Chain A
Amino acid sequence: MKLDDLTNKSGEWLRGSGPEADIVISSRIRLARNLADYPFISRATRQDRTQIEHMLRERILRIEASGDLLYLNVEELEGVDRQLLVERQLISREHAESQGARAVAIDECEKFSLMINEEDHLRMQVMQSGLNLQSVWEQINRLDDLIEDKVTFAFHERLGYLTACPTNVGTGMRVSVMLHLPALVITRQIDKVFRSLQKISLAVRGLYGEGSQAMGDFYQISNQITLGKTEADLIQQVAEIVPVIIDYERQARDFLIKESHENLHDRVSRAYGILRTAQTISSEETMHLLSSVRMGVNLGLIPDLEIPAINELFIHTQPAHLQKLSGMELSTTDRNIERARYLRRHLNKEDGAGGADKN
């Protein structure tokens, strides 16, 4: 498998399937691990980093049943390729932008991603479409066991797995669920939900932005603490709260349908209209409009579109994907034109003008 093969596929978390997939985009767990016999990254010399990378690469590729792994030397990748991996959530922004020897191993289905020399020596993540934390945990736990069989991780009897930042010490585990919450945003209830989550020490973050203003109304909920609770407890804490938020989002959608049906239908239809006719459009506006369209599809207001197709548009219209798909580097202005062209092509494709009349 090569990096370019990724561009045209849509990864695991975009499949738009699995439990509660209308609201839950993906379930993800990551584990932070460090080799016992090397300094943490901030203190590692160039030689240390190279040795860590070699050592982990050799061990990871030796794992049986690892299948067809795509192993990428991030340091040598072009900027646009690194950005592509960030857009697909396969590496972190920090991993894309930092310096020195570093890598990522990705499986064919894009469920697994193992970052080497990120903030910790090894950051492994497993991601799955829909709400499915238990299955994700079983997979990552098994992967952790397989790697641990071949290396000695930094571990303290009382503090557990040792990490570069004390905020991750203990289990080194971050459990996150990504949710699409447009109705809570429209009804302005989202900040309230956030504040109540913070009180039970869960973190909320917009997917493509900082703070509470998330692009495309995507929000990620994750555990804040990593020490003193078992992995099962940490998972349960997130797993218990997600259905509550799903319920609030459904209530908000019901409310919008009942109380302001025309307004909602208008908003969705206009968004769809702009996306199908615009001649130049920014990434931000695209996300914003796609969010309305996605909700419209879930509520049956747009009959001729499928969720996986919209999920794919969210990704394919981002800067690096757009450039990879069109096969060339594009300036912001050209990207906006190409993005509009891409959207028109994909949203009008089947029945052309016929689709526009239905709404």
Chain B
Amino acid sequence: MKCQQCEKPATFHITELTGGKPQELHLCEEHAREYLTSGSEPASTGSMAAVLAQQMAQQMAVGQTAAELAELDQQACPVCGITFYEFRSQGRLGCPHDYTSFQAQLEPLILNIHGEREHTGKSPKRCPQGAAQRTQLIRLRREMKEAVEEENYERATELRDKIRRIEVEDNP
């Protein structure tokens, strides 16, 4: 069999799977190489986080002025204290509550990544609502630590009792 693009014998027989129907190609080595390397996107070498940061940047660029973006970057999660800028540059969130704190920004991002908005898979058997309350412990522990540092022991004791109550409430 001759190459479909020149007179040399076809030594490569390629079945093209992309596009509609599978398509058979018979090519010589030279033309096969040319065919296979043309139109190939550069191999993705970036990590998930890098890809994410890239998508993030694209999202942010839409309808945001520099001033708006700067203001957004300053926003911090009340539970863990991470700023939006920190998330944007690392691609990693700081705590479960960030999904609520940065909901407006994360929603389009999540839709962009997954093409979906809602979880339809398995759920914890024990009261999934309890998880949000337990996440408040992150904030309370942080506040307690701050109270101790400020030597505000009255406040620290109050917080400690509150933490213990929540810890005991739903401790498996």
Contacts and interface: CB of A to CB of B under 8 A. Distances in A.
Contacts of A234: 121
Interface string B87-128: 000111111100110000010011001111111111111101
B6 to A, nearest CB: 18
Contacts of A165: 48-49, 52, 91-93
A229 B138 contact: no
Interface size class of B (residues with CB under 8 A): 35 or more
Interface centre among A42, A119, A173, A251 (most CB of B within 10 A): A42
B124 A148 contact: yes
B77 to A, nearest CB: 9
B18 A228 contact: no
Contact of B17 (A40, A141, A193): A193
A304 interface: no
Contacts of B81: 43
B172 interface: yes
A143 to B, nearest CB: 13
B58 to A, nearest CB: 15
Contact of B117 (A150, A158, A189): A158
A157 B51 CA distance: 27
A22 B14 CA distance: 23
A153 B124 CA distance: 8
Contact of B172 (A152, A211, A212, A228): A152
Given A148-B126, A156-B100, A157-B128, 17 more contacts: A38-B95, A40-B96, A155-B128, A162-B96, A165-B52, A165-B93, A169-B110, A170-B114, A170-B116, A188-B12, A192-B36, A195-B40, A195-B41, A196-B18, A225-B116, A227-B114, A228-B120
CB-CB nearest 9 A-B residue pairs:
A228-B116, A160-B119, A211-B43, A43-B94, A154-B96, A36-B134, A227-B114, A37-B137, A36-B131
16 contacts: A34-B96, A38-B95, A41-B92, A156-B96, A156-B131, A158-B118, A159-B119, A160-B119, A166-B110, A171-B122, A195-B41, A227-B113, A227-B119, A228-B116, A229-B120, A255-B13
